[in-house]
Structure 1
Amino acid sequence: MKAKPGVGRKQKDRIPKDREHHRETRNLTAPDKLDDCWWISIGADQPLLVAGWEASNTGDEKNNQHQNPGRLASAINWHKVECLLNNDEIITLEVVGYNRGGILVKGNSLHGFVPASHLVDHPVGTNKGIREEIFRRYLGREIQVKVIECEPEKDRVVFSERAALAGAGKRKSLLASLAKGDIISGFVTNITDFGVFVDLGGVEGLIHVSELSWGRVQHPSEVVKLGQEIETVIVEVLEEQARIALSLKRLKSNPWDNLSSQLCPGDVLDAVVTRIVKYGVFACLDIGLEGLIHISTIVFPADCVHISDFLKVGQRVKVNVISIDAPKRRLGLTLEG
């Protein structure tokens, strides 16, 4: 049955009658620079909690019902915390509470937060349904942890149980041994909207979403899986901050650099539809690069109201290369047949 325009449909991919190019802009640039807190808030699916653990920070009593502010109200010995961090020492703390993002720990003049992905008994990929039961089993236990973040000005301390498994001093020696350009293997410990965290054996590195592929990545989970062992290249090492920036895409040469030697106008190739926009369709070639099939070049069936009535994300199509502009990272395509 012929679809009625505007009934039960999204308007974003409606085909303009004149098929003229609409002068719209899309933000296709890399995300803004990461806030420092996200380097450590691995796995936390609610706002970061600070050392004072005020319940008012989240405004959600349910999320804070397993906190005991009375047990966490003592002042933090910041000199002690900084020594633990700088010397990469291990300390034993008691688990006194939890929230959706992880557990709360406390010791003599110390207290802080352990994100879920930094817990030994929290398997990678655990769903939210059983996460609370895992946290509950931690209550009352004493665990060995390392300080991985210390910010007195923000009243924040973050610990890691996983980091303690590597032994005291391991982080410092590992950081000192790494250099830009090194290729290193590790295991994916967490996948977020902005990138992927990788355990390198005592310290975690971050692959920003822009470093996952030379092509466009809708979400990092399309490229890697939790628990997967991957090989990466080191982009930057910040010893003082104990941070390592990694890249997956730089293991391969940039396909845009030699695209003209691989493709030329007139080539017919296989591709997969990745995005549908008002002005056309983006399709990804097997080499990992996206090209635009402009709406003005598409021949639609007579009863087609929206682009998505004709083409679907994930659909395999044959495309014809019509233009290549490597410096501007632009590839023009048309549907073949």
Structure 2
Amino acid sequence: MAEDNNSINPMEQALDDFDQVQVGDIVTTEVLSVEDGQLIVGIDNSGVEGVVPIKELTADRKANIHDIAKTGDRLELLVTRRSTSDKEDGSFILSKRRIENKKAYEQMAQLMAADQHVEGQVSGTVKSGLLVDVDGLRGFIPASMISDHFVRDLKAYVGKTLELKIVEVDPAKNRFVLSHREIAQAERQQQQAEIMAKILPGDIIEAKVSRLTNFGAFIDLGGMDGLVHVSQISYNHVDKPSDVLKPDQDVKVKVLDVDKEHGRVSLSIKAAQPGPWDTISEKIATGDEVEGTVKRLTDFGAFVEVLPGIEGLVHVSQISWNHIDKPSDVLSVGEKVQLKVLNVEPDKKRLGLSIKALVANPHAKKQDSDTEEKIDYTLPDEERGFSMGDIVQDEADN
């Protein structure tokens, strides 16, 4: 004879219902009440109640629980553990987020197996990388996997949406690791190919300084960097690029060379600016008295800098009224000298200078007016300025 259900002890029935619910079960529930900080829910077909803390409903710490759920709502929840405190109203603690995470992990594992990329928004930074949200699942991008080059400022990525490759999915360890490096590398290669195809030597480009080294400045051309060697930064001498440039500075550069085989672009900042010889006629004229610094000495004369990037030649015959065998006998590199401009030839980048023209000729004959004989400052054609042949021959002789 079958046992009468009415004869079952209520306590035994409650324990039986309780035993039907196990940690790890996914159960259907009804919201019985909404309180500040938690939901009280009834688990279907069990007669057992449970609690859902707000942190198990949403990752948004500023969220209002009354905006998330209301009495009578039906929720699918994961049983995470049995209640261990009298303060926890219910027999079990349940979670909505963990179900969503579990499904998200399963989906990400499938995408990783198919080698498909995902999109994620960077939500924050830690010392070793970036935190990113991918469809509600929190992932991590190690610093070495953010880009194809070293990233100094991680905070610059916060708020950005990135295309990502899935590297590791491990729900048991709560590990979800992603990488943007491969995507960044592919994007850079594409941008580089486009840039290399359209720029030509001689082009003038508006760009920004991306980074500085001791030997030059790298300039962002909009997807790849070109190099301005330290010697191409200014017509003035530059010891270190950081003395005159800074990262993110706007600059105008001229393309000197495009090496498509090696993916290199050589640039010049100074070549994109007017050269010192272009405006020399506005600054110096024949007959002017100027000060200069001796830069180089040769057997045929001294090269003296009178303006940044402007050197003129003091021929050995224009150094002194006395006979001189070698300029180095009376002049030294770095010495400051007073000069008179004999001739200016901007088109040939030549400047003739004289030291002795500012000094009275001790050998001049006295005239009736007891004034000194007027000096002709015009150099013979072969003594005006200098040529590369003069320099090469002089250095060969030395």
Common fold by TM > 0.5: no
Structure possessing the higher radius of gyration over alpha carbons: 2
RCO higher in structure (CA 8 A, sep ≥6):
1
User: What TM bracket, shorter-length normalisation?
Assistant: 0.3 to 0.5
TM-score, with length taken from structure 2: 0.37
